[in-house]
Amino acid sequence: MAERFDTIILGGTVVSSERSIQADVGIRDGKIVEVDDLSQCNAEKVLDAAGLHVLPGVIDTQVHFREPGLEQKEDIESGSRAAVMGGVTSFFEMPNTNPLTITPEALQDKLDRAEGRAWSNYSFFVGGTEDNADQLAKYEQLPGTPGIKIFMGSSTGSLLAETDDIVRAILSHGEQPCPVHSEDEARLRERKSLISDDPHPREHPFLRDPEAARLCTERLIRLSEETGRPVHVLHISTKDELPMLREAKEKGLSVTCEVTPQHMTLNADLYESLGTKLQMNPPIRSEEHRKAIFEAMQEGLFDVIGSDHAPHTLEEKDQPYPKSPSGMPGVQTLLPVMLNWVNQGALSLEKLVDLTAEAPANLYEVKGKGHIAAGYDADVVLVDLGRKWTVTEEWLQSKCGWSPYEGWELTGAPAHVLVNGVHTVKGMKLQGAAAGRAVEFEWKR
pTM of the model: 0.98
> What average pLDDT score do residues 408-436 get?
97
> What average pLDDT score do residues 370-375 get?
98
CA distance 83 to 200: 31
> What average pLDDT score do residues 3-9 get?
93
Quote the pLDDT of residue 96: 97
CATH of the domain at 151: 3.20.20.140
- pLDDT tens digits, one per residue of 124-174: 999 999 999 999 999 999 999 999 999 999 777 789 999 999 999 999 999
Quote the pLDDT of residue 2: 57
Task: Specify if 6 maps to a domain.
Answer: no
Q: What is the mean pLDDT of the chain?
A: 97
Task: Specify if 373 maps to a domain.
Answer: no
Q: Specify the number of domains making up the chain.
A: 1
**List of long-range contacts for 200-203, beta carbons under 8 Å, 24+ apart:** 200/271, 200/321, 201/271, 201/275, 201/276, 201/278, 201/279, 201/321, 201/324, 202/268, 202/271, 202/272, 203/321
Question: Does the annotation mark 29 as catalytic?
Answer: no
Task: Specify if 135 maps to a domain.
Answer: yes
> What average pLDDT score do residues 92-104 get?
98
Q: Which of 24, 75, 184, 308 is catalytic?
A: 308
Q: Is the per-residue pLDDT at 403 higher than 70?
A: yes
- pLDDT tens digits, one per residue of 49-87: 999 999 999 999 999 999 999 999 999 999 999 999 999
CA distance 69 to 78: 15
* Of 143, 163, 144, residue with least CA distance to 153: 163
Residue 445 pLDDT level (bands cut at 50, 70, 90): low
Task: Specify if 444 maps to a domain.
Answer: no
Q: What percent of the chain has pLDDT over 90?
A: 97
Task: Specify if 110 maps to a domain.
Answer: yes
Range of the structural domain that residue 139 is part of: 57-363
> What average pLDDT score do residues 365-374 get?
98
Q: Is the per-residue pLDDT at 202 higher than 60?
A: yes
> What average pLDDT score do residues 347-369 get?
98
Task: Specify if 186 maps to a domain.
Answer: yes
Quote the pLDDT of residue 1: 38
- pLDDT tens digits, one per residue of 10-58: 999 999 999 999 999 999 999 999 999 999 999 999 999 999 999 999 9
Task: Specify if 240 maps to a domain.
Answer: yes
Task: Specify if 295 maps to a domain.
Answer: yes
